[in-house]
């Protein structure tokens, strides 16, 4: 595991590099879906897009973009999705279907570790496998991943939080994704946030193993206390329940990290019901139009905006190029995936933390 300072330097550097490379790279449209339906019927390159769920607008935006990309790229695009975030069984069946249909490739946002064996089977059958948004574990279970550098995105909101605290004690509630399985997007965002705060995250693939109290070194530095970790399933109702549980254990929470914006919206409702919404910082990762609106309204104090349409565009283009020329995409230097970049969105700029405001973010948000 890299040291604290090395990890912080690496991810900051890679975030900037990923954003530049992402803009200079191939251009297309996006990906994701629900059920096994054809989105484009006239192409001759068969591709299955398998997302986590279509109850989250992030994946719906992927779906819409992928359809447009398929229309212009000569791709027969089939769509499938888990019934909920974490539904591995439906994704495994969709992978089996792609193999049976003789598809050229699979684009997938993996719902958990159980899909890895199915992805290996697909690759053994000659399909090109591209992960989107969530790198599988191990990363080489896919041929390449197009994703946000989730650790760096977590660092962005952690650095902003440390600056905003201005030396005050941080009593932190961690609203994560799962507590019954391990997926990379869950631990990289969580650990990135802690690292950005200046808290030693210990094992960077394990949520909740950091020291429960101590000093954070970000911003002016100060004392911190971890009130606990609760799973949200990445959903608004799960975020509310997680926040209610955290408050029951420690009513002094004044900082809330959330895995995504639906969970953040739910956490805010719990804080509001407890009369604590005005005195608590809520930070998140996503950058959807509803989340950006919540930043404008003060429901979310800062979020890291990511770009699902770009992920999908690059995925569709990569499989099309592979089918036509045999050319394979390359990862971002220093990472085991291609970084599609992120930007911090907040109405309160902090010294030394690069950000955009909600008005600017609304011009490039997804899920309109």
Measure the CA–CA gap between 106 and 110, rounded to whole angstroms: 11
**233 and 171 part of one domain:** yes
Looking at every residue in the chain, the average pLDDT score rounds to 89
**120 and 171 part of one domain:** no
Measure the CA–CA gap between 201 and 210, rounded to whole angstroms: 5
Q: How confident is the model at residue 368 (pLDDT cuts 50, 70, 90)?
A: confident
Neighbours of 200 (CB within 10 A): 14
Neighbours of 264 (CB within 10 A): 30
**301 and 312 part of one domain:** no
Whether the pLDDT of residue 6 is over 80: the answer is no
Tokens 């100060």, located at residue = 222
**213 and 357 part of one domain:** yes
Strand order in the sheet with 213-216: 213-216, 222-231, 170-176, 255-258, 281-286, 302-305, 343-346
CATH of the domain at 51: 3.40.50.2300
Q: Which of 308, 316, 209 is nearest to 261 (CA)?
A: 308
Cα–Cα distance list, 101 to 46, 110, 212 (Å): 8, 20, 50
Phi, psi torsion values for 210, nearest 5 degrees = -70, 160
**58 and 156 part of one domain:** no
Q: How confident is the model at residue 34 (pLDDT cuts 50, 70, 90)?
A: very low
Q: What's the pLDDT score for residue 323? A: 86
Is residue 246 within 8 A of residue 172, CB to CB? The reply is no
Alpha helices in the chain (DSSP H): 4-24, 57-73, 88-101, 116-124, 150-165, 184-197, 236-249, 261-273, 289-297, 308-325, 358-362
201 is a domain residue = yes
**62 and 209 part of one domain:** no
Is residue 71 within 8 A of residue 112, CB to CB? The reply is no
**137 and 268 part of one domain:** no
Q: What's the pLDDT score for residue 24? A: 35
Both tokens of 261, joined, read 């914006």
State pLDDT tens for residues 273-317. 999 999 999 999 999 999 999 999 999 999 999 999 999 999 999
Which domain does 199 fall in, by range? 150-305+344-362
The number of distinct structural domains making up the chain is 2
Q: Which of 132, 232, 137 is nearest to 184 (CA)?
A: 137
Cα–Cα distance list, 174 to 106, 167, 187, 211 (Å): 33, 20, 11, 14
State pLDDT tens for residues 146-183. 999 999 999 999 999 999 999 999 999 999 999 999 99
Whether the pLDDT of residue 321 is over 80: the answer is yes
Neighbours of 297 (CB within 10 A): 11
Q: What's the pLDDT score for residue 74? A: 84
Q: What's the pLDDT score for residue 30? A: 32
**185 and 115 part of one domain:** no
Is residue 127 within 8 A of residue 135, CB to CB? The reply is no
Q: How confident is the model at residue 65 (pLDDT cuts 50, 70, 90)?
A: confident
């Amino acid at each position: 595991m890299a040291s604290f300072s090395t990890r912080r330097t690496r991810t900051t550097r890679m975030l900037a590099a990923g954003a530049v490379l992402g803009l200079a790279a191939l251009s297309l449209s996006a990906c994701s879906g629900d059920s096994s339906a054809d989105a484009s019927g006239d192409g001759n390159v068969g591709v299955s897009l398998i997302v986590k769920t279509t109850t989250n607008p992030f994946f719906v935006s992927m779906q819409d973009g992928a359809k447009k990309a398929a229309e212009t790229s000569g791709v027969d695009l089939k769509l499938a999705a888990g019934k909920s975030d974490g539904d591995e069984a439906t994704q495994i069946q969709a992978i089996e279907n792609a193999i049976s249909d003789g598809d050229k490739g699979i684009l997938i946002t993996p719902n958990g570790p159980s899909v890895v064996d199915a992805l290996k089977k697909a690759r053994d059958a000659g399909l090109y496998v591209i992960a989107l948004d969530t790198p599988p574990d191990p990363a080489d279970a896919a041929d390449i991943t197009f994703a946000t550098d989730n650790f760096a995105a977590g660092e962005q909101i952690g650095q902003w939080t440390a600056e905003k605290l201005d030396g005050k004690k941080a009593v932190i509630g961690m609203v994560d994704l799962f507590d019954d399985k391990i997926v990379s997007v869950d631990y990289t965002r969580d650990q990135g946030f802690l690292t950005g705060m200046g808290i030693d995250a210990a094992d960077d693939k394990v949520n909740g193993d950091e020291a429960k109290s101590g000093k954070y070194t970000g911003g002016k530095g100060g004392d911190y206390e971890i009130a606990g970790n609760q799973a949200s399933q990445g959903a608004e109702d799960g975020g509310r329940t997680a926040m209610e549980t955290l408050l029951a254990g420690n009513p002094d929470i004044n900082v809330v990290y959330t895995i995504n914006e639906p969970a953040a919206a739910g956490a805010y409702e719990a804080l509001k019901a407890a009369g604590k919404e005005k005195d608590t910082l809520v930070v998140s990762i996503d950058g959807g139009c509803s989340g950006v609106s919540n930043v404008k309204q003060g429901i979310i104090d800062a979020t890291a905006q990511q770009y699902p349409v770009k992920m999908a565009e690059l995925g569709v283009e990569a499989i099309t190029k592979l089918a036509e020329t045999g050319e394979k995409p390359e990862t971002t230097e220093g990472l085991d995936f291609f970084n599609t970049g992120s930007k911090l969105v907040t109405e309160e700029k902090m010294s030394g933390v690069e950000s955009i405001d909600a008005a600017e973010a609304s011009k490039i948000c997804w899920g309109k």
